[in-house]
Structure 1
Amino acid sequence: MRFFPSLLTLAVCSSFSIQANEAEAFVERISVQGDFRQQSVQQVAGSVAIVSVQDAKRTSAQHLDDVLQQLAGVNFSAGASRGRYLQIRGIGERSEFVDTINPSVGILIDGIDYSGLGISGIADLAQLEVFRGPQANRFGANALAGMLNLTTKGPTNTPEARLSGSLANYDSYQLAGQFSDGINDQLGYSLALEHQRSDGFIKNTYLNRDDTNNIDEFTGRFKLQYQPSAELALQLISHFVEQKNGYDAFSLDRNRTTLSDQPGQDDIQSKAVALQADYSGLAFANLSAQLSWLAADSDYGFDEDWSYVGIHPDEYSTTDRYLRERDQLTLDYRFTSTPEGKLGNSDWVLGLYAANKGFDLTRQFWNWDLWQADSFASSLNRVNAALYGELTTPLQDGWSLVSGLRLERYDDEYRDSSGNSIKNHDTMWGANVSLNYQVNAQALVYLLASRGYKAGGVNGDALAKAADGNLAELSSKASFKPETLYNAEFGVKGSAIDNSLTARVVAFYMWRDDMQVKGWLNPDSGPQFAGFIDNAGSGRNYGIEMENRLQLHPQLALFLSASWLKTKLGRYITLDGDNFSGREQAQAPRFQYSVAADWYISDSLTFNLSLQGKDEFYFSDGHNARSQRYELLGARLNYQLSNWELALWTRNALDQDIGVRGFYFGNDPRDGYEPHVYQQFAEPRRVGISASYQF
């Protein structure tokens, strides 16, 4: 792996070689919207990746899942119709069944917290920002490993509209439309609508259907912007998402052919409203505030046996269904200093955050002990309150010091139908300190230390089953502790004066304390599993990430992002006695890369080529099943004619089977329930055409 340190050395030398007296007119000006102060990505101390509209179009991405494939250091798992669970630098959850999880990687869409839902079409994408590493000071407990901040297009002063559509194999189509306008000098609005549909990529031979794992999603977003005065700007944001997807993804034959007689579903309906206010009328600071509300109902279920009645004398036939209701109200006030309000020569930020979130679950399942259909209900109410701040202090000769701190308190009230009533609370803190050297307008070198955290919680599934003689071991797993993550980074960012070369490289080392892992217990008999979250001592995650853009020719641009990651579990012995201490962590591929090229053949014709690769990785911290290394090849031929844009594209052109969720156990009565690695596969080869009209 000497190649990666050499790249880091080259980036450092290149950044210092740029002369400080060069003109600043051509500095890259991609602003990071999710930071406290909007500034160029090249001037932010931290590992931040930006996905623009052009980046998404280059790989013909139609959903957040498609975009994530091109981001180094980012991985995801499905276990549902979409890639709902995210990992950054090998840290993140892989599923959510009975117990409510605190995500290690959150998702914000227009400032609204969608963490754990993973539902986003991107037809109206303005910019996606991926913050790698602990982001506690900025985002709190949902950003232990990082945060995805997605901003959609908003109101404009003049009428703008775009209509688009796509057709692809597997009976797939996408229709989208956006319109924005200014009613007058003070009032403007935007509306975006999108519908995606596909039969999916599974053939159910028992039911003779090819749509049991279908996609059927509608997204609507509306924004209303009002500026009553020069000092005050208000924006109302409204989201509506309806997802009616099938879930029939796992095959006893370990391919894309299923035998389920009761295919599952993955339905979500969410509504969200946010009110944002920006006020610059104070002499000492600018005020930003957001009040948001989100409600989401989901219906997730599957055929547990993945087969039909009559497949074998030793068969079983059961289903598992999870009905969830989620309500949340969040408030975030933030003061950002003006030049007149500085503390000495330091800029400052001071904020207050509060949230009230409720999670209700009803599980319908087969109780093997009672030998009858049964249900389990639980309710978790979590109240968060946080105070945070940050100081930016200029030193001498281009040096500056940035320091931030966040104190957060959470209080949980848990109840379930088994008679358990538990209250948990904790006070957590996160911090960041960075020493930055701005070599010149084009180059930044920084050294960063940060601390992140995520909340603990209650293992409702373990509590409900602890009284069972076969599962008495679960009595010690009633709850789990918060996790803490310490991170150190050394980073270099540089760009040529004419933007012909842009490079960002970072080396990091992270220490996980009381790391939360998913555990399972299977009794000696019966297809019954109990899941719980466990604390596995410490863990190590370290590596290198880089992103480069090279303009080889006025008609040819090359893009490269890559990561190398090494992880290690601390002391972790499962209840079954398996010792995984010292092993690599789950969902943590050793390397990832994305290479893409834009060839501007003429003023009207563009050819895009992309290749993404990912090393094998463990599917779980509790077994040794692995994915396979893979490469994704994509291509797009784009023709622009006046207001029209036409494209012919392909994704996964090599038609590789890519595992996005994996289990290791026995579920096939035909071979005596012999354990196998069962995988859910991502999309196969896709071929499609797209057209859009903008006016």
Structure 2
Amino acid sequence: MHSFVRRTLLATTMLASAVGCASAAQAEEAAPAGEEQSSTTSVGTGAHDRGGDIVVTARRRIESSQEVPLAISVVGGEHIDSTGSFNVGRLQQLTPTLQFYSSNPRNTAVNIRGLGVPFGLTNDGIEQGVGIYVDDVYNSRVASATFDFLDVAQVEVLRGPQGTLYGKNTTAGAINITTNQPTFDFEGKAEVSIGNYNFKQAKAAISGPLSDTLAARLAVSATDRRGTIYNVTSNQWIQSQDNLGIRGQLLWRPTDTLDITLAGDFSSQDANCCGSVYVRTGLTQRALNRQFEALADALGYQPVSRNPFDRRTDLDTPLKAENKIGGASLRVKWDFGEGTLTSITAWRFWDWDPSNDRDFTGLPIVALSQNPSQQDQYTQELRYNYSSDAIDFVVGAFGFYQRIDTQGTEQHGAASSRWNIAPSNPLSTDPSVLDGLVAYNSQYLKNTSAALYGQLSWHVTPELTLQPGVRLNYDKKDGYYQRRVFDGAGNEILLDGTTNARKTAQLAIFTPQEISPRFSDWNFSYDFTVSYRIAPDVLAYATYAKSFKSGGINQNGVPTDAQNNPILAAATVKPEDVDHYEAGLKTQFWDRRATFNLSIFRTDIRNYQANVNNGQFGVLRGYLANAGAVRSQGVEADFSIRPSERFNAYVNGAYTDATYRRFVDAPCPPELSGGTTAGAGQSPSAPGTPGGISPANCDVSGQRLPGISEWSFSFGAEANAPFTLLGKEGEVYLGYDGSVRSNFSSNPSASAYTWIDGYSLHNFRAGFRTDAGFDIYCWVRNAFDENYFEQLMVGPGNTGLIAGLPGDPRTWGFTVKSNF
């Protein structure tokens, strides 16, 4: 059914594109009456980057980005389309302070300035630190960042804490996405792209009046691509793309002062995903005969390739990543007097149905790993904006309720006994000990939050503005986690006081557990910004923000003690306490043909929420803990220049110094793990000493946070010239976008085995377009076929295995689009 829908949608969109091409010439002669064509602008380059103001809604009101005393990156829909940045993951190549990591849609991290979501596998029990908003609706799941942008007008990346206006989930920043709205003049657009790896993408949108007071807009998008990694076990290409999205909106405007918009959307992903490749092995402190090379030899196993950029794997668990997300919203905007009252009521859902290979090999060690979940969230926001010559303010209230249910299954296979039981134990040669051992995990989370907030801008003089903001927030989380364990014969394994060697070996893999963690708290956050207009086009500002991220509960199980009892102290984590300082300068010069913005910042976090892993299969998904303190500081600069309509260019750069200031009981990296735990008076062995002595935990104070490059840059340019093609007047153009980032750690505690080398990516496009919106161009991304990793993962059990996710190779293709 899904394939049929996709083929129908693709064919329909191609037809719409053909109609659009035919009507482009007519559109050149007759633009919609009474409506000036809008110009999409961005920090980068695009077809309509002719200068002028970039309009944003970062402070919940419409204003120029150069008027906002805030570090903000703005990418217009035109630039998103032309650079192939069709989701947040690709957007990071244009905004160097944005980091995106994803091993699958659920396990996705979106960070700004190195902060946001703990690096590693997702835990539902905490908030994200980068809020994602689409048309004022909060999306609580980072998985929403993996979907294709759908009819997007503009993306604003707000850097630094945004707790006053955007809430507790924005200690690192927010991504504010605005879609194109229904219009009372008929308009449409269509786009079709094809490329290597059987890439096919189609987009279409149509908008217009249904009556004098009612307008509608409908947008659809479909993306399909063959995978980039070949699995020799299943004879399939994995890491494919198979995305489908639809969004509809109805706008009722009974008077000039009242807009009521009803919106609904649905998106699905059904990719052959998500896998990994063998990267390397490194010595741990486990006994040498229990490390990867010895275990693989004992089982007669060799990875299909030891060169990760052969892009070949042999994962033996069927892979699945079915992902559905959608919802509905009702937005009411009523203008009266000098203010606007806005109400946003929304419901969102998210259904996740995965299957993963968690041993990262072609051996039947972990035969099954899947944790499907279902989420519903409900939000209500009510706010009032007021503007006058002397003051602007916004006050509001926000309510949030979320329910997540998860049903997990983790099962071991025939090779597990030999892999996980010491060779000196006779049970290691008995496959039946662990073959079929299965854990069924049931969990739910109820998350309730409510807030009152306000922000005031007092224009003391035409040049000087004082901006205080406050937010009062209440949070409550109720969770439940149960793990039941059964052996291969279907007998339940209980913690009933009985024991034998076989049961001990099985409990070392999965331990029954049942916990009901709870958390509730009140928090008060505030900020204060002073801005001063030094000259008509020069704005200086300074900000202090006191923010927080709500405390959390561990929803994936907690470690156990020597008696296999859950360590309940690990069931909850404290709220993060954030102090943020920032100063910036926003300038335009050369008759506003050039823009230069500069910001310096420092963020101090106490009780930083870190995702850790102690090597137990039962908590392989990771659990949460508080690091003592974290600091992120740095400098960011954005420069763009548009000397004429024939050329524009930009350079954006960031230096980020983000480190653990105090984390004395962190999980150790693999080279310091797997040995006998150091006792009183014992000193740990040197890193990578087989059979050595391992510290119980490690002091990583001073180490760089994972996922963060100290240096990152994005840059690009576009040049065009008048040209006539097939009787149509327009312009030919050549565009380039590049990005560079330095090395970064891919493990919560830095390991010599998991540093990812810095890399650079270079994208080109060339084509012909008309003012009416007809555009035909070819493109190449990662033009120099750079080999790089998006992420490295440490295999379970301290065997020294390192697996990885290679970034996309060179891709190229051809796009035709038209507005009509």
Give the deviation of 1:554 after TM superposition: 4.3
Q: CA deviation at 1:431?
A: 1.4
Q: CA RMSD in A?
A: 2.3
Q: Does 1:610 align with 2:737?
A: yes
Task: Provide the C-alpha distance between the structure 1 equivalents of 2:339 and 2:87, rounded to a whole number of angstroms.
Answer: 38
- Cα distance between partner residues in 2 of 1:272 and 1:554: 41
The residue type paired with residue 52 of structure 1 is G
Deviations 1:169-217 (A, max 9, x none): 111100111000022332111100001011121111222222x322111
Matched residue, 2:501: none
SS in structure 2 at match of 1:56: helix
Cα separation, 2, equivalents of 1:541 and 1:643: 43
Secondary structure of residue in 2 paired with 1:29 = coil
Residue 237 of structure 1: how far off its partner (Å): 1.1
Structure-1 residue corresponding to 2:550: 455
> Corresponding residue for 2:786?
656
Assess if the C-alpha contact under 8 Å between 1:443 and 1:492 holds in 2.
yes
Aligned residues: 650
Q: Which amino acid aligns with 1:466?
A: T
Alpha-carbon separation, structure 2, partners of 1:530 and 1:323: 13
Q: So what's the TM-score if we normalise by structure 1?
A: 0.89
Aligned AA (2:703): R
Residue 663 of structure 1: how far off its partner (Å): 1.7
Match of 2:335 in 1: 280
The runs of at least 4 consecutive aligned structure 1 residues that moved more than 6 Å come to 367-370
- Counterpart of 1:270 in structure 2: which amino acid? I
Structure 2 CA distance, aligned partners of 1:568 and 1:423?
30
Separation in 2, partners of 1:644, 1:627: 41
Q: 1:32 to 1:122 in 2, by over 3 A?
A: same
Pair 165,527 (structure 1): closer, same or farther in 2 beyond 3 Å: same
Distance 2:660 2:473 in 1: 27
Alignment partner of 1:184: what SS? coil
After TM superposition, give the deviation of residue 377 of structure 1 in Å. Answer: 0.9
The aligned amino acid for 1:399 is L
Residues 372-407 of structure 1, C-alpha deviation per residue, up to 9 Å, x if partnerless?
222111111111110000111112351110000001
Partner of 2:657: 566
Q: Distance in 2 between matches of 1:483 and 1:296?
A: 26
TM superposition shift of 1:450: 1.2
Is the contact made by 2:328 and 2:346 (CA closer than 8 Å) also made in structure 1? yes
Per the alignment, residue 286 of structure 2 pairs with none
Which of 213, 227, 246 is 1:186 aligned to? 213
Q: Which residue of 2 aligns with 1:128?
A: 155
Distance 1:528 1:413, change over 3 A: closer
Distance 1:380 1:218 in 2: 28
* One-letter code aligned to 1:628: D
1:123 Cα deviation from its structure 2 partner:
4.9
| Greater shift in the superposed pair: 643-652 or 573-582 | 573-582
Q: Secondary structure at the match of 2:104?
A: coil
Task: Find the aligned partners of 2:179 and 2:267 in 1 and give their Cα distance.
Answer: 14
Match of 2:257 among 214, 221, 231: 231
Rounded Cα–Cα distance in structure 1 between residues aligned with 2:460 and 2:560: 58
Whole-angstrom distance in 1 between the partners of 2:454 and 2:65: 21
CA contact (8 A) 1:99 1:532 kept: no
Q: Provide the residue aligned with 2:472 in structure 1.
A: 407
Structure 2 unaligned residues grouped into runs of 5+? 1-49, 279-305, 417-432, 483-512, 668-695, 723-729
After superposition, give the CA deviation of every residue in 1:10-62 in whole Å (9 maximum; x if it has no partner).
xxxxxxxxxxxxxxxx9842121242221110010111110012322342323
Q: Indicate the larger mover: 452-461 or 511-520.
A: 452-461
Consecutive unaligned residues of structure 1, counting only runs of 5 or more, are 1-25, 310-314, 668-672
* Matched residue SS, 1:693: strand
State the distance in 2 between where 1:657 and 1:81 align. Answer: 23
Q: Kindly provide the amino acid, as one letter, of the partner of residue 362 in structure 2.
A: Y
After TM superposition, the structure 1 = structure 2 runs for residues 38-53 of structure 1, keeping only pairs within 5 Å, are: 38-53=62-77
Q: CA 1:595/1:27 → structure 2, altered by over 3 Å: closer, same or farther?
A: closer
* TM-fit CA distance, 1:347: 2.7
- Is it true that 1:466 corresponds to 2:511 in the alignment? no
User: Would you say 1:220 and 2:246 are equivalent positions?
Assistant: yes
CA distance in 2, matches of 1:330, 1:82: 21
User: Shift of residue 438 of structure 1?
Assistant: 1.6
361-370 or 510-519: which moved more?
A: 361-370
The one-letter code matched in structure 1 to 2:112 is I
Deviation at 1:473, TM superposition (A): 8.1
> What is residue 139 of structure 1 aligned with on the other side?
166
Question: Once the 2 structures are TM-superposed, how far is the Cα of residue 528 of structure 1 from its aligned partner?
Answer: 7.0
1:646 partnered with 2:776: yes
CA contact (8 A) 1:548 1:560 kept: yes
Note if contact 2:452-2:473 (Cα within 8 Å) is conserved in structure 1.
yes
Counterparts in 2 of 1:27 and 1:628: CA distance versus 1, 3 Å? closer
Alpha-carbon separation, structure 2, partners of 1:48 and 1:435 = 17
Identity %: 21
1:540-555 correspondence runs (5 A): 540-555=631-646
Structure 1 residue identity aligned to 2:778: L
Pairs within 5 Å for 1:49-64: 49-64=73-88
Instruction: Provide the TM-score with structure 2 as the length reference.
Output: 0.76
Residue 664 of structure 1 aligns with an amino acid whose one-letter code is V
The one-letter amino acid of 1:548's match is: F
Tell me, in whole angstroms, the C-alpha distance in 1 between the residues paired with 2:552 and 2:567.
15
Q: Which protein has the larger Cα radius of gyration, Structure 1 or Structure 2?
A: 2
**Alpha-carbon distance in 1 for matches of 2:442, 2:391:** 52
The yes-or-no answer on 1:110 pairing with 2:135 is yes
Match of residue 355 from structure 2: 301
Candidates 245, 253, 258, aligned match of 2:271: 245
Say if 2:315 and 2:357, in contact at 8 Å, map to a contact too: yes
Q: What SS does the aligned partner of 1:143 have?
A: coil
Residue 79 of structure 1 corresponds to 103
What is the rounded CA distance, in whole Å, between the counterparts of 1:387 and 1:223 in structure 2? 29
CA contact (8 A) 1:27 1:495 kept: no
Letter in 1 for 2:776: L
Following TM superposition, by how much is the alpha carbon of 1:265 offset from its aligned partner in structure 2, in angstroms?
1.6
Secondary structure of the structure 2 residue equivalent to 1:536: strand
User: Counterpart of 1:539 in 2: which secondary structure?
Assistant: strand
Larger deviation, residues 412-421 vs 137-146: 412-421
Q: CA 1:574 to 1:643, structure 2 compared with 1: closer, same or farther past 3 Å?
A: closer
- The answer to whether the aligner puts 1:619 opposite 2:746 as a matched pair is yes
Aligned to 2:189: 162
Task: Give 1:284 deviation, angstroms.
Answer: 6.5
Equivalent AA in structure 2 for residue 596 of structure 1: G
